[in-house]
Each structure stands twice: as structure tokens, then as C-alpha cells.
């Protein structure tokens, strides 16, 4: 077993945490703290917690089961109740009588390790392979955690959704690998344009979300949005070509635009979907808008540079000039 310290938070009265000191020390060491239901969320946010031991009735433990290992200590339990609690996210269910068993520390440590494996698996499947950004599920989970912490004293935050035009064009012209490179470069600029405490996530093939976890006024979100639009307005170097994208922005502010993560995401995504995309420096995205003709940022074959084809040659025909039968020019 690893000798890394296990941080234990006990909720409610009882001797579950103290019993760890008397159990097999080989599964620790354990650093134990206690709290009440009134300050559990603050304690979870303020310090590292590996396992939450809930001794007594507290129905909200399911809301934190995805972040920490939850061990329930009950007076007595039926098989049906135990299975129900395990299916809701608890890592272990024990009776108060079992706390005196020498295996108590082993069961707590096993719960912590199972939670770590589950978190690592969720992380692997919740990350966008091209950008390394969290997917929408992780974003919603993070927002839920923040909103739970702010339930008593709501503080404004904002969710920005940026819809990118130009990715489908790049895929059609240069292939899926180039489109993935472009998405990765977009993600890098978004990440560089916000604070370390803010979250950038991939919420679709052509959409990104930015969670501003702390703002003073809605104007702060608009200012950040304009900054990000300006950053994405610069061309991207992909495979020797200078590619441009257009970006549409939608902003939802908590709590005025919604009090639940999915409400805020729908609001911001809806605004981004209906907004006019800007930023391609005059290049029209004909392919993605369904218009015939060459796509934006067409790359001239074997040149490695962006060109815009002149319509003049297409209007010239092979008809000979009518001014003279001996004239060899073309009309």
C-alpha cells in the first residue's frame, strides 16, 4: 500500500474516525477532521478530502459522491438498502458495530482507492482527445459543485459558449487531422485568454464553453467575451496554411439567466447558435453556409498559402472576338 496520507472528513456524531487510529495502521496514515452538515460544503471546498464518512442521516451525500469516496456508517442495514446506497455512489456501507473490527482501516482505504480508479476512468472518457479539454459532462459536474457551494450566498458567475465556423471547412479541404490541429489551437487561445480558476471545455464538434467562476458584474463577462473573440480573430497556422475562423458568442449569467447548470448551458448555447459569427477578416465560409464555390481560406495546390480566386477567369469564354475575323484575342 502507498504511504500517502489519507484525508478523512467525518460528518455527524460518532466514533468512526477515531476508530481508524485503533485499526491496522498499514493502510494509513489517516488525517482526521470532523464537521457538521452546516459547514460540510465549505470544508470540502477549502481543503483536500479523500473520504467522507457519514455517520447519521444526511441525504445530500449523493451530491459529493463523484468527488470523494463516501463511506456510510449506519446502525443496521438490509441487503436492499446497501445495494441502493452503493448504486447511488457510496463506496462502502458499514454498521457501527463493525467499526471495532481490525479491517475498518482496510475498508476505508479500499473505498478511497476505488474512488480514485473511478475518477481516473471518468477523466479518461471525459476528455476531448484533440484538445485535452473536459467534455460537457465534466463541465456540468463542476458547475453543480460550484452552485452547491453558493446555495446560501449566491455570487455571480458566467458561462460563455463560443460557436466556431471554419472547422468543417478545414476538414473538407485539409482532412480530419488538420481540423483536429485547428481545434487544439483554438483551445490553447481560449485557455490563454482566461484565468487559471476559469474552466474551458469542449461542448461539441464546433463549440467551446468558458466558465468564469467569479465575476463582479455581467459587464465583466462581456469584456472577456470580446477579448476571446479578438484572439480567435487572428489567423491560425495549420499545415503551412493560414486559416481563419469565425466565432459566434453566447453568454449566460448566474443567477439572472438560470440557477441550474443545464439551464445556463442551454441559454448560452442558444444565444451562440443564433448569433452572427464574426472574425474571418472578410473571408466568407461558403462551404459551411451551403453556398456553392470554394470554401474560405482555400489553399492553392502545392503553394502552402491562402488564396482567393478571382471570378474574372470564370466569366471569360472561348468565343473569339467579333471585332475582326483575323483577331486572335478572346472575348
Instruction: State the average pLDDT over residues 33-42.
Output: 85
Mark which of 239, 254, 274 sits at the end of a domain. Answer: 274
> What CA–CA distance (Å, rounded) separates 182 from 59?
45
Same domain, 79 and 20: yes
The arithmetic mean of pLDDT across residues 78-103, rounded, is: 89
- Please indicate, yes or no, whether residues 76 and 187 belong to a single structural domain of this protein: no
Contact in structure between 208 and 200 (CB atoms under 8 Å): yes
* Other Cβ atoms closer than 10 A to 134: 21
Residue 64 is predicted with a pLDDT of 81
Q: How confident is the model at residue 137 (pLDDT cuts 50, 70, 90)?
A: confident
Q: Same domain, yes or no, for 117 and 149?
A: no
Q: Number of C-alpha atoms within 13 angstroms, CB side, residue 230?
A: 8
Range of the structural domain that residue 87 is part of:
6-125
pLDDT, position 40: 86
pLDDT for the residue 55? 87
Of 96-100, 238-242, 316-320, the range with the lowest mean pLDDT is 316-320
Sequence-distant (6+) residues with CB within 8 A of 202 are 128, 131, 133, 134, 135, 136, 183, 187, 208, 209
pLDDT at position 312: 35
Query: What three-state secondary structure class fits 282?
Result: coil
- What does the mean pLDDT of the chain come to? 79
With a pLDDT cut of 70, the percent of the chain lying above it is 81
Would you state the pLDDT for residue 173? 83
Please count the residues of the chain: 331
Residues 6 or more apart in contact with residue 210 via CB below 8 angstroms: 159, 160, 162, 190, 194, 198, 199, 200, 201, 224, 228
Residue 225 lies in a domain: yes
Structure confidence at residue 272 (pLDDT): 92
Do the beta carbons of residue 161 and residue 231 sit within 8 Å? no
Instruction: Note the pLDDT of residue 171.
Output: 80
In a domain, 297, yes or no: no
Considering the domain boundaries, does residue 91 fall inside one?
Answer: yes
Q: Are residues 89 and 166 in the same domain?
A: no
CATH, residue 73? 3.40.50.2300
Is residue 281 included in any domain, yes or no?
A: no
Q: Where among 102, 125, 148 does a domain terminate?
A: 125
Helix, coil or strand: residue 28: coil
Point out the domain boundary residue: 274, 302, 326. 274
Q: Evaluate if residue 131 carries a pLDDT over 90.
A: no
Question: How far apart are alpha carbons 320 and 157 in whole angstroms?
Answer: 68
Domain count, the chain: 2
Res 257: pLDDT: 94
Is residue 231 one of the residues assigned to a domain? yes
Span 145-174, pLDDT tens digits: 888 888 777 889 999 999 998 887 788 888
Is position 331 within any domain?
Answer: no
Q: Which residue has the higher pLDDT, 254 or 102?
A: 254
Amino acid at each position: 500500500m502507498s504511504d500517502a496520507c489519507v484525508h478523512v472528513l467525518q460528518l455527524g456524531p460518532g466514533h468512526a474516525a477515531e476508530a481508524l487510529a485503533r485499526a491496522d495502521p498499514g493502510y494509513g496514515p489517516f488525517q482526521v477532521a470532523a464537521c457538521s452538515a452546516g459547514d460540510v460544503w465549505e470544508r470540502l471546498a477549502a481543503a483536500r478530502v479523500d473520504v467522507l464518512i457519514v455517520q447519521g442521516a444526511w441525504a445530500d451525500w449523493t451530491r459529493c459522491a463523484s468527488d470523494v469516496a463516501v463511506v456510510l456508517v449506519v446502525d443496521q442495514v438490509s441487503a436492499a438498502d446497501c445495494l441502493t446506497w452503493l448504486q447511488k455512489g457510496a463506496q462502502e456501507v458499514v454498521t457501527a458495530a463493525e467499526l471495532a473490527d481490525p479491517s475498518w482501516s482496510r475498508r476505508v482505504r479500499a473505498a478511497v482507492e476505488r474512488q480514485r480508479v473511478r475518477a481516473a476512468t471518468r477523466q479518461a472518457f471525459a476528455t476531448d482527445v484533440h484538445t485535452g479539454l473536459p467534455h460537457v459532462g465534466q463541465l456540468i459536474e463542476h458547475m453543480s459543485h460550484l452552485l452547491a457551494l453558493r446555495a446560501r450566498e449566491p455570487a455571480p458567475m458566467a458561462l460563455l459558449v463560443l460557436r466556431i465556423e471554419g472547422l468543417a471547412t478545414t476538414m473538407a479541404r485539409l482532412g480530419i487531422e488538420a481540423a483536429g490541429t485547428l481545434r487544439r489551437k483554438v483551445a490553447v487561445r481560449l485557455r490563454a485568454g482566461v484565468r487559471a480558476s476559469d474552466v474551458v471545455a469542449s461542448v461539441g464538434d464546433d463549440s467551446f464553453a468558458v466558465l468564469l467562476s467569479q465575476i463582479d458584474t455581467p459587464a465583466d463577462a462581456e469584456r472577456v467575451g470580446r477579448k476571446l473573440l479578438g484572439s480567435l480573430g487572428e489567423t491560425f497556422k495549420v499545415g503551412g496554411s493560414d486559416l481563419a475562423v469565425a466565432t459566434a458568442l453566447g453568454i449566460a449569467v448566474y443567477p439572472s439567466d438560470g440557477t441550474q447548470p443545464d439551464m445556463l448551458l442551454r441559454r448560452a448555447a442558444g444565444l451562440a447558435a443564433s448569433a452572427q459569427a464574426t472574425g474571418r477578416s472578410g473571408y466568407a465560409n461558403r462551404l459551411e453556409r451551403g453556398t456553392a464555390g470554394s470554401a474560405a481560406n482555400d489553399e492553392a495546390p502545392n503553394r502552402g498559402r491562402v488564396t482567393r480566386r478571382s471570378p474574372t477567369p470564370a466569366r471569360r469564354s472561348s468565343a473569339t472576338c467579333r471585332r475582326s475575323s483575323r483577331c486572335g484575342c478572346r472575348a
